[in-house]
Amino acid sequence: MSNATAPATEAPDPSGAPLHVAINMDGNGRWAAARGLPRAEGHRRGVEALRRVVRAAHELGILYLTIFSFSSENWSRPASEIGDLFGLLRRFIRNDLATLHSDGVRVRVIGERDGLEPDICALLNEAEELTKGNTRLNLVVAFNYGSRQEIAHAARRLAREVAEGKRDPQSIDADTISRYLDAPDIPDPDLIIRTSGEQRLSNFLMWQAAYSELVFVPIHWPDFDKTALEEAIAEYARRERRFGGLAAKTGS
């Protein structure tokens, strides 16, 4: 995801539609607890919400949808819950990949692959390979992802180039770092949504969020649907994005 410095050409679409929406799908556990259900059921219903939102995203003309499906910090959860989340990812790819492909969805994955089980890596690679020619919607799955880790990884690669004499440290600016992140060709998110009422980024796209509009919605992820997405987009469309400059119409 590039253009962190947001040149003027990245001004919002006049129709008010965000090109790139990123979602922190929070609240599965609380949704389940409120119903006396196991947390795994909250995650399972979370996958159903994800299916609805992928469909809604292409209906609403969104070109990039990034979802936070497993964070670098989620390893601190009980092994049984980690197993449930990995199982859901396996089933999601096995059951939904053909439909995503026929719907013109390109699947991209960001995050650390090292250390993941080989079958998970194989499924992620298969999803990316099969769908790489699709252009209708880019579904960017942040899996085993953390912004700090992503930025540290970029810094390591750059430091190595400097140590090998291949790069002048003076050449490193914000655009260079953007180009060394996990998906440098994907534009920064216009809108980041977090469900369940929590109001923080939690290590999600922190570099790319420099000029994103943040919308926090009170409902838990399993209840999220097309209407909730439309409401978040309507809130986004009411915001004035200045990218550190002046207001477009008033100049104030």
Evaluate whether 158 touches 167 at the Cβ level (below 8 Å). yes
What residues does 70 pair with on adjacent strands? 143
Residues ≥6 apart with Cβ < 8 Å to 71: 142, 144, 145, 146, 202, 203, 204
Q: Is 74 a catalytic residue?
A: yes
Which window, 5-13, 25-33, 115-123, 242-250, contacts ligand FPP (CB under 6 A)?
A: 25-33
Please name the residues in contact with 207: beta carbons below 8 A apart, sequence gap of 6 or more. 1, 4, 147, 150, 151, 177, 178, 181
- Interface with ligand FPP: number of residues (CB under 6 A): 19
Candidate list 3, 26, 138, 190, residue with the active-site label: 26
If the CB atoms of residues 71 and 178 are measured against ligand FPP, the closer one turns out to be 71
29 binds ligand FPP per the rule CB under 6 A: yes
Strand partners, 106: 138
Examine residue 28 and tell whether it contacts ligand FPP (CB under 6 A): yes
d(CA 191, CA 212): 5
- 123 binds ligand FPP, rule: CB under 6 A: no
Q: How far is CA 126 from the centre of its chain?
A: 19
- Tell me whether residue 26 is one of the annotated catalytic residues: yes
Residues 165-204 that bind ligand FPP (CB under 6 A): 196
Closer to ligand FPP at the Cβ: 131 or 178? 131
The size of the chain, in residues, is 252
Question: What is the set of active-site residues?
Answer: 26, 74
What residues line the site for ligand FPP (CB under 6 A)? 25-30, 43, 46-47, 50, 69, 74, 85, 88-89, 92, 141, 196, 221
